[in-house]
């Protein structure tokens, strides 16, 4: 049986390293790279019928009043363009007769979000995360009301939840800095899904601890926790691997619009499984014993 509890300093150290890396990338400008869902603006994906470079497109866009547009190559002769808010895709297409005219391009997708809607999205995201955290704490406190110090279970679960959230956000800040990956509403939906999954895994282990406290009254809390993690280990890994394989299948065969959601979910499942066994339970034991080792 793996001794998770007495090796908690290793889990805490690994988490500290991961969180520190994430925070560094969050501090480095621009931190998370927001998509149009958060900043407002328009995005358009265009496929050219002939060979075209980013420099040609940028020059053309500058001439029609979009000098600060972001241009990314998706594949050969296919580009993703992000610019200030447009009323319609024809605001770009019809304003030029050189590169972007309808005879030379095919518009693959077009999306636009106003700045007002973007601010509302950010506000609703914070409200959703705060409401979810409060609800989770109250539920765990009530569910574990018959064990000593039930509030500790709720607080440990919330800290583990924050741990998972910070690591996933930090990962996407790094991806945004290195590869230009943007975050959008799908990122938020995935983050809330990760929160739910992480807490579910944590509650399973905490519930096993509650049962074993009654079954083995002569065991210390550390021994009970170690036994409970060991008993839940197989179940947690099987559930996580099943979900990971499903996510990988969707990444391979699913559409591009859900890829951000899937990458967040994949990272969250891995981190959530780790934190449920290595962080949440060990926080509970550390609080009880006042020892980090």
Domain ranges across the chain: 8-35+116-289, 41-113
**CA-CA distance, 284 to 290, in Å (whole number)?**
10
Do residues 66 and 31 make contact, with C-beta atoms less than 8 angstroms apart? no
- Answer whether 8-35+116-289 and 41-113 agree in fold: no
- What is the C-alpha radius of gyration for the chain, rounded to an integer number of angstroms? 24
Task: Give me the pLDDT at residue 165, please.
Answer: 92
Do residues 141 and 150 make contact, with C-beta atoms less than 8 angstroms apart? yes
Model confidence pLDDT, tens digit, residues 217-270: 899 888 999 999 999 998 889 999 999 999 999 999 877 778 888 999 999 999
Task: Give me the pLDDT at residue 98, please.
Answer: 46
Q: Is the peptide bond before 161 cis (omega within 30 degrees of 0)?
A: no
**CA-CA distance, 125 to 185, in Å (whole number)?**
9
Record the pTM.
Answer: 0.79
Q: Which of 84-88, 138-142, 158-162, 185-189 has the lowest mean pLDDT?
A: 84-88
CA–CA distance from 21 to each of 27, 161, 172, 190 (Å)?
10, 18, 11, 21
- State the average pLDDT for the chain: 83
CA 280 to chain centre: 19
**CA-CA distance, 113 to 281, in Å (whole number)?**
43
Query: What does the block give as tokens for 214?
Result: 């009654």
Q: Provide φ and ψ at 181, rounded to 5°.
A: -70, 125
**Dihedral (Cα; 127, 282, 21, 25), 10-degree rounding:** 0
CATH number of 41-113: 3.30.70.3400
Task: Give me the pLDDT at residue 93, please.
Answer: 56
Model confidence pLDDT, tens digit, residues 56-109: 888 877 777 777 777 888 888 888 887 776 665 555 555 444 455 556 677 777
Do residues 43 and 110 make contact, with C-beta atoms less than 8 angstroms apart? yes
**CA-CA distance, 102 to 271, in Å (whole number)?**
46
Beta-sheet strands, E only, within 91-144:
105-113
Q: Which of 114-118, 147-151, 158-162 has the lowest mean pLDDT?
A: 114-118
Give the residues across from 110 on adjacent strands: 44
- Residue 88 region, left (φ>0) first, then alpha (ψ -120 to 50), else beta? beta
User: Per-residue confidence at 116, pLDDT binned at 50, 70, 90?
Assistant: low
Task: Give me the pLDDT at residue 293, please.
Answer: 61
Domain 8-35+116-289 has CATH 1.20.59.10: no
**CA-CA distance, 289 to 287, in Å (whole number)?**
6
**CA-CA distance, 115 to 40, in Å (whole number)?**
4
Query: What does the block give as tokens for 168?
Result: 């996933």
Task: Give me the pLDDT at residue 258, please.
Answer: 83
User: Per-residue confidence at 147, pLDDT binned at 50, 70, 90?
Assistant: confident
């Amino acid at each position: 049986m793996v001794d998770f509890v007495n090796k908690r300093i290793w889990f805490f150290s690994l988490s500290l390293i991961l969180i520190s890396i994430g925070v560094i990338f969050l501090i480095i400008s621009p931190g998370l790279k927001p998509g149009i869902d958060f900043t407002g603006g328009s995005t358009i994906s265009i496929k050219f019928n002939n060979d075209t470079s980013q420099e040609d497109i940028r020059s053309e866009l500058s001439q029609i009043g979009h000098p600060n547009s972001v241009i990314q190559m998706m594949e050969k002769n296919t580009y993703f363009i992000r610019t200030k808010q447009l009323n319609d895709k024809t605001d770009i297409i019809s304003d030029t007769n050189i590169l972007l005219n309808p005879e030379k391009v095919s518009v693959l997708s077009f999306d636009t979000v106003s700045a007002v809607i973007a601010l509302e999205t950010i506000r609703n995201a914070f409200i959703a995360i705060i409401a979810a955290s409060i609800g989770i704490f109250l539920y765990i406190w009530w569910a574990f009301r018959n064990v000593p110090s039930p509030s500790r279970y709720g607080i440990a679960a919330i800290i583990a939840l924050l741990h998972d959230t910070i690591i996933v956000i930090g990962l996407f800040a790094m991806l945004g800095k290195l590869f230009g990956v943007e975050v959008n509403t799908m990122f938020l939906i995935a983050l809330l899904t990760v929160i739910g999954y992480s807490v579910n895994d944590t509650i399973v282990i905490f519930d096993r601890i509650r049962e074993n406290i009654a079954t083995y009254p002569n065991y210390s809390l550390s021994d009970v926790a170690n036994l409970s993690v060991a008993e839940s280990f197989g179940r947690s890994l099987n559930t996580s691997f099943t979900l990971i394989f499903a996510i990988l299948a969707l990444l391979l065969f699913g559409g591009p619009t859900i890829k951000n959601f899937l990458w967040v979910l994949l990272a969250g499942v891995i981190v959530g499984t780790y934190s449920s066994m290595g962080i949440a339970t060990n926080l509970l034991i550390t609080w009880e014993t006042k020892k980090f080792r």
